[in-house]
Amino acid sequence: MVTISLCMIVKDEEATLDRVLSSVQEIMDEIIIVDTGSIDRTKEIARKYTDRIFDFKWIEDFSAARNFSFSKATKEYILWLDADDIVETEDRSRFHALKATLTPDIERVTMPYLLAFDTTGKPTSSLRRNRLVRRDRNFTWVGPVHEYLAAWGKFLDSDVSITHRKEKVYTDRNLRIYTQRKEAEEQFSIRDLYYYANELREHAKYDDAVVYYDKMLKTGQGWIEDNIQACVKMSECYSHMGNKEKCFESLVRALVYEKPRPDVSCAIAGYFFKEEQHENAVFWYDLATKVPPPSTMGMTNKSMSTWFPHLQMCLCYDRMGNYEKAYEHNEKALAFNPTHPSMLYNREYFLNVRKIGDTTA
């Protein structure tokens, strides 16, 4: 059986550190905690699980801290987690099985990272990340912020999921790091351009965000996943800015990179829905249910190919006066998400107001 070092960087994580460490302590052979300046009970909690606790002076560089944590590992493989992650019970069982069967020729293991959930607790948004890597390959983290683990070689796509349960409120920390780098006239990578644009958008700096999305796309060298998302997010920015023409142009720009994906189809449909062009909206929402979601390391949102487009088609058909079709799509949406309050409300509306539907449902 292989051995694993868990490497984490933390700061003021007393609210969640016990949760994540207790979820993996029986699987890990070594736990390494690198503290970047906590002033709460973080270290006290960490000492319940390990004596391998190190201080690292924060230098506005996440990769530097993560690489330092990796340098302290001594086992065959390294797992990384954040303090607001957790390995749920079913995934712990899968992890035990993975550890028992993993062969040394595997250099990296990818795991789904579950980011958002529906009302029943089913994951709706996720991506795959290099999560477990061979220590002797000396893979390193790249980028001061929105860092990534540069790993390659023979891999295994594992079914062990890491669940993200964020507790802390979002701050402008990442935006400040990018702004400082820009003021220092540091050269931004293609990835930096994309993530800087994301930070600008999340802080409602839409005019600046579209400039950096466009710069990133015009390099012609971006990762396809980032390219597509840049187009969708740029469209959102233009929508906030009240520029309908550029909003639609940005969405269509996404089609340059690949056939319409469910999320892109829903975004285009959403544009037509806002414009009250309901027939056009139905076309694109329907397409979202028929195009298979891509197999990718990038972000996926299952709702965009399941309940959401059906719910939206319900609204479209209702506004077009086709109540039978509206009811039909609401029921299809409920099949995917049976406790969604809006769809349950719609069912009552069709039953009691439009006199459509199964009274025993």
**Residue 313 and residue 177 share a domain:** no
Q: For residue 102, what are the domain limits?
A: 4-163
Q: In angstroms, rounded to a whole number, what is the distance separating the alpha carbons of residues 117 and 258? A: 27
**Residue 112 and residue 12 share a domain:** yes
What is the rounded average pLDDT of the residues 312-336?
97
Confidence band, pLDDT 50/70/90 cuts, at residue 360: low
Q: Is 121 exposed, middle or buried (0-12, 13-18, 19+ CB in 10 A)?
A: exposed
The model's pTM is 0.90
What is the rounded average pLDDT of the residues 289-316?
92
Domain limit, last residue, from 163, 194, 229: 163
- Give the pLDDT confidence of 146-179 residue by residue, as tens digits: 999 999 999 999 999 999 998 877 789 999 999 9
Q: Please report, for the domain that includes residue 177, its CATH number.
A: 1.25.40.10
141 pLDDT above the threshold of 70: yes
Confidence band, pLDDT 50/70/90 cuts, at residue 358: confident
> Is 111 domain-assigned?
yes
**Residue 13 and residue 98 share a domain:** yes
The b/e string for 248-266 (b: 16+ C-beta within 10 A; e otherwise) is: bebbebbeebeebbbbbbb
What is the rounded average pLDDT of the residues 83-111?
97
**Residue 241 and residue 197 share a domain:** yes
**Residue 321 and residue 250 share a domain:** no
Q: In angstroms, rounded to a whole number, what is the distance separating the alpha carbons of residues 121 and 137? A: 37
**Residue 121 and residue 60 share a domain:** yes
Domain limit, last residue, from 258, 283, 315: 258
The count of domains in the chain is: 3
> Is 268 domain-assigned?
no
Confidence band, pLDDT 50/70/90 cuts, at residue 297: confident
> Is 266 domain-assigned?
no
